Structure 1
């Protein structure tokens, strides 16, 4: 009787651990039952024996079980996080994005001090059911705060990407939050601010960028053009055989696009000499080439700055120092003095400097929720996958009775 009890208890704990691994891998809930469990049983039969393999079959890992285990762990992690936030100051980080099936999702991350350290954790992901207005987004936030019995007074800062719905002076989400807590600090993602500042360039340099975009689009707009250009580059022993697309959304692409065009300018002149003689004349002009080289160098330096400010656990002071040093080196922008944010050091360190973590969370969500998993719960899997707080599996096992598999 003892062995019959021990096996299901171990099997239940194993199912929780497996569910946690499935969530962290961002894979479909069916992968374990359809692929991994049969493979593990076969390996166990070969390496250990059939008796040990039969015990593995007692682990319940159906799709519904995996979903249930992930839901249990998500609730447990959420309760731990809320308990922490109810007793300390914190800052929040908001971003709204539309992805699969034109579904708008609101992601919130939170930064808070705990046991002498600062933690950054996924807070929630909620579907925006109607319109992504400032009122709708604020209501989602406020409802969640009230349901979890958290206080806006403990929120010291909110970071957004600078969209009008977030930062509107009279009725934006930040304005509505400040109406509840006027002491909150509102920060605009420093990466977005730097990207906006870099758009302001001299007309001649802007003309060079426009010409580069035109050339890239002309070559890559048709598959035949791209193949012919690649063949020409190979014949001329060029270092690359393709151009890179420029995207205004992904501003890191500009430096790479300009650098690639500069490196392949000779091949481009040869490829375009019959179809675009005017453009070839520009590509051969020394002054134009010098401006192209200058732009490529500047944007590559900006890329290095952007990459150095990305990642987790960066404080607003560190990112500000990175940008300040860059401005002193390049002497492009004037130095600006920033007012003192708050009196205490902790409240200075809590605000999010960039929206990098929200973008990373959306990337993880896009990986999880594909067109084949359209019904996936958008909050439980990301919470188990992204949070630094581990689920209390032993506690969950004792709360849920272990049922013997038949």
Structure 2
């Protein structure tokens, strides 16, 4: 098939030419998008300008000439290799920032560890010439922070777009809890349908700075809905814990939600039901749990006992070197404490026997004196 050629008059539609694999392609000077050779027709180029850049379709040719000069200075050559390499460099920076975010490490690790390690690997495997190519990849603290924020915003936009397009509405699950630093966190999960599949995503994570009444929680979520143009009328289900601030008939969170969407179904989270039922233990299980807590406290509350217990675990080749504290707030803590103590039961016995022997020797020494 014959290839179309570029006409300088196409600049009035916002297009210049670019060579790729010995083929002339039209490139938009506004969005930098490259079209196929078959699209090099005035009607198709004008359609691209009117559809994607409607606010610039009435601009004169001098405006597009200035944009074209800026594009040519950026790519340095007619093949656009500079622009293509720059795009790959930025993509690599985003991918490294994603790894840092997934590992939950400090943002400075990219510049202080990842980049030096990458240079060592490239220098040893590919040579010194390839190391210079890594210098153009920006991995500073501020850059990684900005990349992570941009990816977070993009994920939020995708979730919100999916919620808006959901045919059968959506349901939310709200949980408000205070962590060990007395910081109150509000988490909102949302479930909706997308591409004939049910998806569950994190919709909102925000710190509650003041009171945590039902009205306060509702105001935070209502402001988020208004900011992102989400319709309360499409809400079909709301799951919360059993706190009065959530289930109160007059001033609870679900009461405010039902005032906005009367057809919504309020559900008490089954995990919190299990937590409430687990608080009432039979006497035998309760006495066993109390003994476990006493043993854990005996080891953990003393710095000397903790160090000695760690040394015993290391000498015996254990998988763990410490016990887990029990807290009343986290309902899974009981299971975790009991499981860890059972895993280290032999180490506990050895530690207690040694400590009892030491106490007996001290007591005998004092009585003899």
- Shorter-chain TM band: 0.5 to 0.7
Greater Cα radius of gyration, structure 1 or 2: 2
1:128 positional shift: 1.6
User: Root-mean-square deviation (CA), in Å?
Assistant: 3.9
Name the count of aligned residue pairs.
Answer: 274
CA shift digits 1:97-150 (9 cap, x unpaired) = 334754322121211111121111121212223222222211110000011111
Give the deviation of 1:77 after TM superposition.
Answer: 1.9
* Pairing of 1:86-105 with structure 2 (within 5 A): 86-88=164-166, 89-99=169-179, 102-105=182-185
Is 1:182–2:262 an aligned residue pair? Answer: yes
Q: 2:241 aligns with which of 150, 154, 161?
A: 161
Pick 1 or 2: higher relative contact order, CA cutoff 8 A, min separation 6: 1
Rounded Cα–Cα distance in structure 1 between residues aligned with 2:229 and 2:164: 8
- Pick closer, same or farther for the CA change 1:252–1:192 going to 2, 3 Å: farther
TM-score using structure 1 length: 0.56
| Match in the other structure for 2:44 | none
Structure 1 segments unaligned to the other structure (5+ residues): 235-239, 276-406
Give distance in 2, aligned partners of 1:242 and 1:15.
Answer: 38
Match of 2:336 among 253, 276, 288: 253
Decide whether the 8 Å contact of 1:159 with 1:189 is kept in 2. Answer: yes
Q: For 2:132 and 2:313, how far apart are their aligned partners in 1?
A: 59
Distance 1:92 1:228, change over 3 A: same
Q: Does 1:134 align with 2:214?
A: yes
Counterparts of 1:92-241 in structure 2 under 5 Å? Answer: 92-99=172-179, 102-203=182-283, 206-207=286-287, 209-214=289-294, 216-218=296-298, 220-223=300-303
SS of the residue 1:112 aligns to = strand
Of 111, 130, 136, 1:58 maps to 136
SS in 1 for 2:176: strand
Q: Which residue of 1 aligns with 2:32?
A: none
Deviates more, 1:120-129 or 1:204-213: 204-213
The CA distance in 1 between the partners of 2:351 and 2:327, in whole Å, is 23
TM-score (norm 2): 0.61
Determine if contact 1:229/1:271 at 8 Å carries over to the other structure: no
Moved more, 113-122 or 209-218: 209-218
2:112 is aligned with 1:34:
yes
